[in-house]
Structure 1
């Protein structure tokens, strides 16, 4: 687990002194952009109330089930009783590395999880963790209960009274996209050396703040410590840590703080942006898919430089996805998932924790092997043939989830933290496997999200027994055909 997330209490202020660089501005680029036609519509807010399910490891309060020590591990999806559909009415959510944001039908944002970087947008400093009583022989939990304010969903403070259309969650920063194209955010960015900062500050922004560099934004993609925002003219802007070239431009150490200002980086006529933890994506108006950033496992889908520390320094077309009609693309730490308009899924990147969902005997010939002959990565987009038609998908750090058109969730990848929701399993889950527990078997899942060691799904309960049986028959028929 330690390899997946940072532990509580890790220093937030150990970044070396960096000379602040003066902004060179982008006045000329802004003037040129103002003359471009609008190609992207502003999104509408979601309105359907959802049941919210959580599963995985919640040692950092990620599951939002309250402070009891018994909520630290949830091996299969569990309905969150603190966010009941009829009482709270969650309509959307976003999952970061160790926290979650949820939007209710009243346009209020709820947050829970680790708050070391101020990502919850509310003060949790007054809560005290209840440690285990050393004299209690019946309590076998070494760490005791969780922080009550972090583990219990609470309302974010200080947001403007404007409709929210998208939530933003990275490892150390949170935010919202408003219907007027503004972005408000809080938290911080981190880099290899420690704390990087937030906008023009080297500290932590604990309450929501307007981000002036994002104007007329229609969509946002979140990485581990960077954000890509897309405007209505089809121009993407990047903000945050760029040490692995995930911002689409070179960031010099002496001017590192320039990355704390959202800037465009040369792409135009873009319809969609996506992100992995250290790599990024864009889909153009003509259907081309571009990637850039860390590529040491081929997670950029560009079959070059498959070695430790390798990067794709600028947006590069993923030629293997050309003509596939990709409409959505996202990634984990070292793997990528792409969804086509027809519901097909293409995968590429790291293999050894099974996060791309391909059986060993089905690996393509161009799979990359190490010096010992062990398969390390699949650098070329490969169609995942063991899934029915998919309507939504997500990537955690080392696991993946997908929702079928009929609302059933499949998962695969790293299983030690139970983030795949399949209960105790002996090994990592090699191929997509249906989550078929009692709590969710009658739900039409609409949204799914994944963090470092946990997952969240949201859906509505089907009311027709006939519909439930028909869906099950269709799914079982597909699985029997494999």
Structure 2
């Protein structure tokens, strides 16, 4: 059934219940223009609906044996949400990577913690203890958005420039970030000739949406997640080499003149929303219908995913390893893909793979404003600030003391959430 995904050669904590599928450029101060091929690219302050602006504190729960909880070297696990010791409660965005965490403040500063063996933290650390607590990434640029994958972190500046650190990986190990097999331990610039409005990271790929409504991708292409590399060149670029994957390239769709207003990623998938029409395009791994196509065939080029009804006005899509979760304009939550471990949130009685978005009845009418997916878990945040979680429960990431899987959304409780 479906195409398998090769597992990473990097040593990582493994959940006993998780089934693997199934199988430089130095940083510079902000400038008003960038010179490309002799022409000046005009830059100005960018804006996108995905740029968070409301400050708050960071809470963490789950397993943290590489420091990804940010709670210090003595705390390896937290069942209930615990407050992370950042300098101020002014974080506007927090992003969990494979084994590291990235936080963005309202001042445009970035703090990271967790595994740094491949440069994902974007800062040099002399010992392991420095990785276990938040540390500031030394950048002079004002950052407005962050994203993170398995072993990389990306940063978007307020004038539309993209920086990244770490490396991408495939089934055989690191492939590099901007050049073959080279790990970047501090942020380097990508796409200097484009003004980028949004970035989104999969496990080992990065997607960039520009002010022209164009999409550029780079990273691993094994499952089709770049949307611009045919299957014969997907494994390490084939005869074209790894550089073919690491040099950002534009994604094209069959519809002439199509422009995009939003992009989202899953671990091995990418979704894009066409401007004005709200049509959803999807590409990447589809071995459990997670793209919304009923044939279980991977897509190496963008295809219109008609199962995403454009009339619902999708505002967010997030993908796990084998499932996806989506939010529509009315605040209802939908899931599709693999059934195991309760990640779809539809209850045990409806436990079957879903090839099209299926509404979660227990959340209907509750007005959700944000959704997100982990490998085999899902989360939803309501307008009133309540958090609901469901899926695989064996690594404490659902905020419950038991290790049972949760088949329907359950509110996350804890002392740190009582007044928040």
> The TM-score by the shorter chain falls in which range?
0.7 to 0.9
| Pairing 1:205-224 to 2, within 5 Å after superposition | 205-212=184-191, 215-224=194-203
Q: Which residue of 1 aligns with 2:135?
A: 154
Over 3 Å counting, the alpha-carbon distance change for 1:411 and 1:273 in structure 2 is same
Distance in 1, matches of 2:333 and 2:48, equals 26
The partner residue of 1:255 within 212, 237, 240 is 240
TM-score w.r.t. the length of structure 1 is 0.73
Q: Does the 8 Å CA contact 2:202/2:267 hold for their aligned counterparts?
A: yes
- Structure-1 separation of matches of 2:329 and 2:12: 41
* 1:96-107 alignment runs, 5 A limit: 96-107=97-108
Q: Is the aligned partner of 1:406 residue 2:384? A: yes
Aligned to 1:188: 167
Aligned twin of 1:12: none
Q: Distance in 1 between matches of 2:155 and 2:360?
A: 33
List aligned pairs for 1:10-409, cutoff 5 A: 41-42=47-48, 46-68=52-74, 71-80=75-84, 82-83=85-86, 85=88, 89-124=90-125, 126-127=126-127, 147-157=128-138, 159=139, 161-212=140-191, 215-251=194-230, 252=233, 253-257=238-242, 258-267=244-253, 268-285=258-275, 286-305=277-296, 310-322=297-309, 323-363=311-351, 375=352, 377-387=353-363, 388-409=366-387
The secondary structure found in structure 2 opposite 1:209 is strand
How far did residue 378 of structure 1 move?
1.6
Q: Is the 8 A contact 1:273 1:283 kept in 2?
A: yes
- Counterpart secondary structure, 2:312: coil
Distance 1:316 1:359 in 2: 30
SS in 2 for 1:439: helix
Shift of 1:221: 1.2
Task: Report the number of matched residues.
Answer: 372
2:91 and 2:69 mapped to 1: Cα distance?
15
What is the distance in 2 between the residues matched to 1:346 and 1:153? 34
Decide whether aligned partners of structure 1 residues 209 and 51 sit closer, same or farther in structure 2, where only a CA change above 3 A counts: same
Q: SS where residue 347 of structure 1 aligns?
A: strand
Aligned to 2:409: 432
Structure 2 CA distance for partners of 1:8 and 1:414, relative to 1, 3 Å: closer
Q: Tell me the distance in 2 between the aligned counterparts of 1:6 and 1:361.
A: 37
Return the alpha-carbon distance in structure 1 between the equivalents of residues 100 and 417 of structure 2. 22
C-alpha distance in 1 between matches for 2:54 and 2:278 = 30
Larger Rg: 1
Q: Tell me by how many angstroms 1:203 deviates.
A: 1.1
Match of 1:420 in 2: 398
Q: Are residues 198 and 172 of structure 1, via their aligned partners in 2, closer, same or farther at CA, if it must alter by over 3 Å?
A: same
CA distance 1:355–1:171, change in 2 (3 Å): same
SS in 2 for 1:321: coil
Q: CA deviation at 1:103?
A: 1.7
Q: Does the Cα contact within 8 Å between 1:276 and 1:332 map onto a contact in 2?
A: yes
Deviations 1:100-155 (A, max 9, x none): 1112233221100111110011112x21xxxxxxxxxxxxxxxxxxx311111111
SS at 1:386 equivalent: helix
Higher relative contact order at CA 8 Å, sep ≥6: structure 1 or structure 2? Answer: 1
User: How far 1:247 moved relative to its partner?
Assistant: 0.5
The Cα of 1:328 is off from its aligned counterpart by 1.1
Q: Which runs of 5+ in 2 are unaligned?
A: 1-6, 14-35, 38-45
| Residue 422 of structure 1, CA deviation | 2.0
Runs of 4+ in structure 1 deviating by more than 6 angstroms, as ranges, are none
Tell me the distance in 1 between the aligned counterparts of 2:50 and 2:409.
Answer: 32
Is there any run of 5+ residues in structure 1 with no aligned partner, and where? Answer: 10-29, 32-39, 128-146, 364-374, 444-482
How far apart are residue 162 of structure 1 and its match? 2.9
For the 8 Å contact 1:182–1:215, the answer to whether it is kept is yes
| Conserved 8 A contact 1:336-1:348 | yes
Compared CA separation, residues 207 and 321, structure 1 to 2 (3 A) = same
* Alignment TM-score, normalising by the size of structure 2: 0.83
Provide the secondary structure at the position in 2 that maps to 1:66. Answer: coil
